[in-house]
Structure 1
Amino acid sequence: MNTFVAIDVETTGLSPARGARVIEIAAVKMEQGQVIAEFCSLIQVGVPVSAATTGVHGITTAMLAGQPAPGEIWPQFIWFIEHHPIVAHNAPFDMRFVHSELQRLGLSMANPSHCTLRLGRRKYPRLPNHKLEYLAQHVLGKLPPEIQLHRALGDARLTAMVWEEMRRE
Structure 2
Amino acid sequence: MKAVVFDVETSGLSPQQGHRIIELGAVKVEQGRIVDEFCTLVNGGAAIDPRAQAVHGISSAMLRGQPRPEDVIPRFRDFIGRYSLVAHNAVFDTRFLRAEFALQGFALPNAVECTLLLSRRKLRLPDHRLETVYQYFFGELPPDAQPHRALDDARLAAQIWLKLKKV
**Which of 148, 156, 159 is residue 158 of structure 1 equivalent to?**
156
Runs (5+) with no aligned partner, structure 1: none
- Per the normalisation by structure 1, the TM-score is 0.95
Deviation at 1:49?
Answer: 1.6
Partner of 1:35: 34
Residues 139 and 166, structure 1, Cα contact 8 Å, conserved in 2: no
Partner of 1:103: 102
**Secondary structure of the equivalent of 1:26?**
strand
- Between the two proteins, the alignment pairs up a number of residues equal to 167
Partner of 2:6: 7
Q: Percent identity?
A: 48
* CA RMSD across the alignment: 1.0
- Per the normalisation by structure 2, the TM-score is 0.96
Name the aligned partner's letter for residue 69 of structure 1: R
Residues 70 and 104, structure 2, Cα contact 8 Å, conserved in 1: yes
Runs (5+) with no aligned partner, structure 2: none
Name the aligned partner's letter for residue 144 of structure 2: E
**Which of 137, 140, 157 is residue 138 of structure 2 equivalent to?**
140
CA distance in 2, matches of 1:83, 1:98: 15
CA distance in 2, matches of 1:86, 1:10: 16
CA distance in 2, matches of 1:73, 1:160: 22
Partner of 1:70: 69
Deviation at 1:91?
Answer: 0.5
Deviation at 1:109?
Answer: 1.8
Deviates more, 1:46-55 or 1:101-110: 46-55
Name the aligned partner's letter for residue 107 of structure 2: S
CA distance in 2, matches of 1:148, 1:33: 23
